[in-house]
Chain A
Amino acid sequence: MQLSGNNALLESASPTLVDLRRGDAAILERIDLPGDDARRLMELGFLPGTRVTAGLSAPGGDPRVFQVDGSEIALRRETARRLKVRKEGGKPRKS
């Protein structure tokens, strides 16, 4: 699925981290990954209900750095697309 950022946010029922463009923020809803992988992500701050902001990426947009719970964590696209998010009300604060 290679929908571009904004369209997916508006149209898709469950947008993912992949759909965030640089500077966008969203609330993490759930992690569609097996138990151990999900745990590892949660230990790094990717807990449901947490605000995640998309940051810079490697050339080509993959992997991308995400700001979450006071840290910056890089995720590959294949992982980021398993993290479902819901759009945050209003424009994200500039951090």
Chain B
Amino acid sequence: MSQCGDCHGCPPVALADFTAAPGLATTVAVIGPPNSGKTTLFNRLTGLRQKVANFPGVTVEQHTGVAELPDGRPLQLIDLPGVYSLTPRSEDEEVARAVLTGERAGVAKPEAVLLVLDSTNLNRHLMLAAPILALGLPTMLVLNMADDLRHRHGKVDTEKLAAEIGAPVALVSARSGEGMEPVWDFLAGAMTKPAPRQLPVLQDVPQCRQWAGQVGAQAHYRAPVPPAWTRRLDAVFLHPVAGPVIFLLVVVGVIRTIFEAAAPLNAGIDWLFQASGNWIATTFPPSLVRDLVADGIWRGVGSVIVFLPQVLLLFLFIGILEDSGYLARAALIADRTMARVGLQGKSFIPLLSAYGCAVPAILATRTIENKRDRIATILIAPFMTCSARLPVYALLIAAFIPSRPLLWRLFTTQDAALLGLYVLGFLAAVLTAWALKSSVLKSGRTPFLLEMPAYRLPTLSSLGLRLLDRGKVFLRRAGTVILFVMVVLWVAEHLPLDHGHAPAMEHSVAGMAGHALEPAIKPLGFNWKIGIGLITSLAARETIIATLGEIYGMDEKTQRASLETALRHDLSTGGAFALLVFFAFAMQCFSTIAVVRRETGGWKWPALQFAYMGALAYAGAFIACRLF
């Protein structure tokens, strides 16, 4: 048995620190095993003052947020990745350890720790208490999911437990907010501390587990009965026949709802932008600034914001699937495919989150211990259909594919096209993984371990927070990256000035750039206007919509037409399919390139990835243009 580095007994000197009041703590770390409800607690404590850390995903490592104490004092909370131990084997464990010991550059050493444990599985989760308490920071044990424990007839004596480990203990339900007062007291430094305890020196996992069991017994811990509903639901969701069928129905249902339910909302937002744009155009005197605002910014940025409902619906579904616990079952059902292409099960969770955005997905690969597996997962993550592709798909499908029923009205040609694009991205990812894993990134197998959480009803507040988060990210992108590109594009469309007037679009800098690109993209069925869109969409995929919106907005002939109608003049059906396939494969996202460079420690992998995905996009579009 290897020496267990994390289960050091704590030196008596450090013990004295447990009892030191956090006093005026300014930074508190929240740590715990995966699935212990850390993030729910974090959201409960920070409320809506949470920072969105995954955009652009290149500066902020940990999720940090500010909690306001009852006396009005602000307190910085650091949400650390879920870990089972502090032995740095994977990068997220290394991050957690480094933050707690103050070795992480740019992060203040936390003055206190909230250790979040699942009270329904206390004996095992208590194992993490030993290494955390040994750090010598003032620590509170937050036993989460008190409501579950009670409903399933479990119990624990928190006072006995506190006396046993020499640290304060709170039994809470972060979801409902029950029992949170002691946590606030601890954070405010207004808590009476139990007497310090000498903890035993623990050498390995069995000893840690034995210690945890003894502590649990001293605290009269009674483990809850197994969750009856989880067993019942699993009998259905993991049924050999019904399981996969439900899996497919869920996927199709999500896709269909994204299309159908969002359409009226899209129309509403579109109308708002049209009306306000017209108001700007008619109210202000003609000037270059008015044109910039009305044609460039309003039409450009507005045509992207129209797709906010789709993106929010997507994240609503991801949130429901994740919070309910169904995602772990989906991962189980899909594992065989992953195994066949040589990927380990751990790659599945990052890949699933890549359906939202590749940047957090690439950060999530830190849980993969094996370096080669991790790089393979990073390289294929951008193939998964991210939320930035969704607006492009929605626009092109609505414009070029007539809606015809395939399975009565339940599944239409448009749904099939969208589903096909998701499948296409997934296939590109698994085939690339297979190619990588059987050549340059071959590696030994690491065991696949997946904890199946009990099913839980997602709460409205948690779903609401997610949507707010993602809505902010989407709008911020529209208001920063895309807005900036739109202004640059507008300038490029007006230069070189001809006697103080903008040249015809074709003779402008932007037009010339598009024309320069045209010979290369003509075989794909794209003209120079689409070419301009391809250039600007290098910044972020959905920028192509804004770009086309702006280009058409400046043209007298297309100014009044809707984006869909205008597009039909510029693209044949074959060209539209080519463009869809191009977007399915190409790596058009600065944020992703930056995060891949940082996570792989150089330009080699992002450069390779960009070239490979670009080549695949070109080839795929070339074929699609000829097929349709």
Contact = CB atoms under 8 A, between A and B. Distances in A.
Give the interface size bracket for B toward A. 35 or more
Contacts of A78: 445, 447
Nearest to A65: B452
Nearest to B445: A78
A49 to B, nearest CB: 8
Contact of A42 (B205, B328, B336): B205
A33 interface: yes
B85 A35 contact: no
Contacts, number: 109
B447 A63 contact: no
B216 to A, nearest CB: 11
Contacts of B339: 62, 76
A75 B345 CA distance: 9
B238 interface: yes
B118 to A, nearest CB: 9
B333 A73 contact: no
Interface stretch (A2-10, A51-59, A84-92): A51-59
A56 to B, nearest CB: 4
B465 interface: no
Interface stretch (B120-128, B182-190, B381-389): B120-128
Given A42-B205, A76-B335, A95-B226, A63 B345 contact: yes
Contacts of B226: 67, 95
Nearest to A61: B240
Given A40-B449, A75-B448, A58 B84 contact: no
Given A35-B2, A37-B446, A39-B87, A71 B451 contact: yes
A45 B124 CA distance: 7
B206 A36 contact: no
A47 B332 CA distance: 23
B331 to A, nearest CB: 8
A76 to B, nearest CB: 4
Contacts of A79: 447-449
A52 B449 CA distance: 15
Interface string B49-89: 00000000000000000000000000000000000110101
Contact of A76 (B84, B120, B345, B369): B345
A59 B332 CA distance: 9
A65 B328 CA distance: 11
Interface string B127-139: 1000000000000
Contacts of A73: 449-452
B253 interface: no
Top 8 nearest A-B pairs by Cβ distance?
A79-B447, A72-B452, A42-B205, A43-B84, A74-B450, A56-B238, A76-B448, A35-B2
Interface of B: 1-2, 4, 84-85, 87, 89, 120-121, 123-124, 127, 205-206, 209, 223, 226, 234-235, 238, 240-241, 243-244, 328, 332-333, 335-336, 339, 345, 369, 445-452
Given A43-B85, A74-B451, A76-B345, 11 more contacts: A39-B85, A40-B449, A43-B205, A58-B333, A70-B120, A70-B124, A72-B451, A74-B449, A74-B452, A76-B335, A79-B448
